[in-house]
Structure formats: structure tokens, C-alpha cells
Amino acid sequence: MSTLITNIAELMTQDADRRVLRDAAVVIEGERISWLGAAAEAPAADEAVDAGGRALLPGWVDSHTHLIFAGDRTAEFEARMAGEGYSAGGIAVTTGATRSTGDFDLTRLAMGRVAEAVSQGTTYLETKTGYGLDVENEARSARIASTVVDEVTYLGAHLVPAGMDAEEYTSLVCGPMLAAVRPYVHWADVFCERGAFNEDQSRRVLQACTDAGLGLRVHGNQLGEGPGVQLAVEFGAASVDHVNYLAAADIDALAGSWAGWDPASGTGGSAGPGGRGTVATCLPACDLSTRQPLAPGRALLDAGVQLALASNCNPGTSYTSSMAFCVTTAVLQMRLSVHEAVRAATYGGALALRRESGNDVDGERAVGSIAVGHRADLHLLNAPSATHLAYRPGIPLTHAVWRAGVRAR
């Protein structure tokens, strides 16, 4: 079954050449994109969809979420808006609610959040464990996550549970807990931050997860300057996320990991597999909710760092799955161009998940860009150009969504 989407006013490919096509068309065949180009030259297909002069983007790639949770932290949010500072301790509230919720309800809640994200144009999602914080509940969270999202990250190193010794808990994270979640996860993460895990503990977690064959991510430099960024680059992590407080040496380290990298061939960088460096993932919705300074996305891009935008959807500090909101904020407040912000929310997210290239990587087609052979993840806006995402802030602009070639909205 093939579908022709034609009469596209603006087609923002976000491919290696960063092409923007006018009066364009795309053909979907199965789950893949089989053709794109000028509408006047489009081949025949089994069915046709008239885009009506709208803009077409890759689907959003949300590379940082925490969707496996129960409970509510409205009171914490209200207190923060009244002037109280953010600390990692609120995670414990969600942990209690999550542990006491059964599998069926926990799965139902997560599926609802995924559906909400897809309805707004998100077509590829990562999510983390981290609200179980014991062997049984971390394994359960990983198992449930593996049934509802595309990529699962182990975040047993989210917070040291109350009453536990930090060193003993770190050993649990690196040993029995890691073994229990390993069948369900592809990535591991650590919250390297004051109030969470220090440099030595974070290093132990990253090394153990490397030895277990997991890809790495790091929560780093959210509440102040610290070792998170440097550890991420040292270990060749795919991304370091938050990055609100960066020293010049941190930016230099991130930029150096991408030195000589060629996006067309995927070679030349120094930090990670395939020559990829460490992506800096900015989480602007979280920054606003915690009243932290916005991550320096402009400075990172100007230094040559590859950037991603993600929602950080979670119950305490960023209870939104709106990637459009993140893009709007990046343009209006972080000084990114519309094209840069959209790229960070699509191709950048795919790069942070190492799904940006190849037609069949580990059985998955590339996501985050519109190119022949890539997964047909498409987001049709109810607007003639992507500029309307920032030009009309807060207006829901998603008109249609295709996820792996299937129309989801």
C-alpha cells in the first residue's frame, strides 16, 4: 500500500543536506519513505492525501521523558511557583505512588501519555525507569516501558531512596538491579547532581552499564556546574541532558567530541560509536517549570555542538509532552532560528538516540528526518510553514501525523 502526500507548501526534510522543498510531495510505502520531490513530478500511488498547502516536518523525536509513573505533584509545583527552590527530593513522592500502582494501571497511564504525545506530532519516544528505585519495581518499570515506547533507558541512579546508604544503593544499581532490567533496556542514565549521585558514584554506574553493553546518557549540570558533562564526554555518552550551567571547559569538551564529524557519512567525531559525539539535550519546559536559567543552546550551537530538544515529560518538573512548546521556547527565548529548533527536536533527538542514519539499524529505520528509506514519521502542520510554530505560540498546529507509515491522527 502506497500513499502520496501532495500539495505540500513547505517540506522541511532535516536530512544531512538540510533541504527545504517548496510545492513538494512525499510517497509512503509500508513503513518507509519511498520518494520525495517536486509535486509536479510525483509518481502514482494507491491513495493520495492533499496537504492543502500546509507544511510537512519529520515527526518530533522526544529523546528524554519519564512516562512510567503514578501520582501527582501539584503541591510541589505550587510551592515552587511561590518561591521554593527545586531539589531532587521530590522524586521520592512519585516513587511511593508508582510502587503502589498495579501493572495494568501503570501501563494504562503510560499509554495515555504516549497517545497524547503522538497527537501533537511526536512519533518516536524514549522513556526512563527511575520511579521504582528497588530491584522489583525498576524491572517492572522497564518491562512496562518496553511495551509502550521506542527506546527504554535504565535510570535506577535517579535518587538514593530514603533510609539507604548512598554507596550501598550505588552497588545495588550496578549489580542486581542492572541485571534485572537488562532484558528490557538499551540505554542507561545517571542523575549526576548535588542531592543525587556524586562524581565517583556516577562513574561507577556508567562503567557498570558500559560493561553490560548499554548505551549511555547523563543527567548533568542542571542545578549548577558539576562533573556531568565531562563524564558524559569521557564515557562517550550519546547525550548529556539539562546542561543549564556550563563552564567554558564543558562547552569545549562537547564541541571537541564532534570535531571533524561529517553528518553525511556519520564519521569523524571522537566520542561515541560511529564517530558521533555527545549531544547536548536542552529541556526548556523543565527550565521554565523549575525557574532555572535556560540552557545556553545558542552558545552550544555556535561552538559546534549537536543539539537536541526534548520534553522531559515527568510529574514533578515538566509535566508536558508538547515538543511544539519546546520548539517555540527555543526560538523565542533561547535565540535559535525556527529551522535550528525544529532540527533539534527531530534530527537532534534522533542523533541523541543514535537513530539518525541508516535504513535498517538494529532492525529500525532511521528517524528524525525525511529521506528515502527512512521511517515514514511525518507531522503535517495546519500552517503554510514551520515558522508558525513560533509566530503563533500556544496555538495547536498539528493537522495530521503518520507514525511508521500509519496515520495516527
- 268 pLDDT above the threshold of 90: no
Per-residue confidence band for 367, with pLDDT thresholds at 50, 70 and 90? very high
Contacts of 156 (CB under 8 A, 6+ apart): 129, 130, 132, 133, 138, 172, 173, 177, 178, 181
**Adjacency order of strands within the sheet including 187-192:** 60-62, 122-128, 151-157, 187-192, 215-220, 239-242, 279-282, 307-309
- pLDDT for position 66: 98
Residue 376: enclosing H or E segment and its boundaries?
Answer: none
pLDDT tens track for 302-329: 999 999 999 999 999 999 999 999 999 9
What percent of the chain clears pLDDT 70, i.e. is strictly above it? 96
Q: What is the overall mean pLDDT for the chain? A: 95
Instruction: Give the pLDDT band (50/70/90) at residue 88.
Output: low
pLDDT of residue 266: 61
Q: Percentage of the chain surpassing pLDDT 90?
A: 87
What fold is seen in the domain 60-352?
A: TIM Barrel (3.20.20)
On the question of pLDDT at 85 being above 90, the answer is no
Q: What does the alpha-carbon distance between residue 397 and residue 389 come to, in Å, rounded to a whole number? A: 7
In the chain, domain spans: 2-58+369-407, 60-352
Does the pLDDT value for residue 362 go beyond 70?
Answer: no
Alpha carbon separation from 181 to 33, 153, 363 (Å, rounded): 34, 10, 21
Position 275 scores a pLDDT of: 77
pLDDT of residue 294: 98
Close Cβ partners of 391 (under 8 Å, ≥ 6 residues apart): none
Mean pLDDT, residues 66-82: 91
- What's the CATH superfamily of 2-58+369-407? Urease, subunit C, domain 1 (2.30.40.10)
User: Is there a contact between 280 and 294 (Cβ–Cβ < 8 Å)?
Assistant: no
For residue 274, the model assigns a pLDDT of: 60
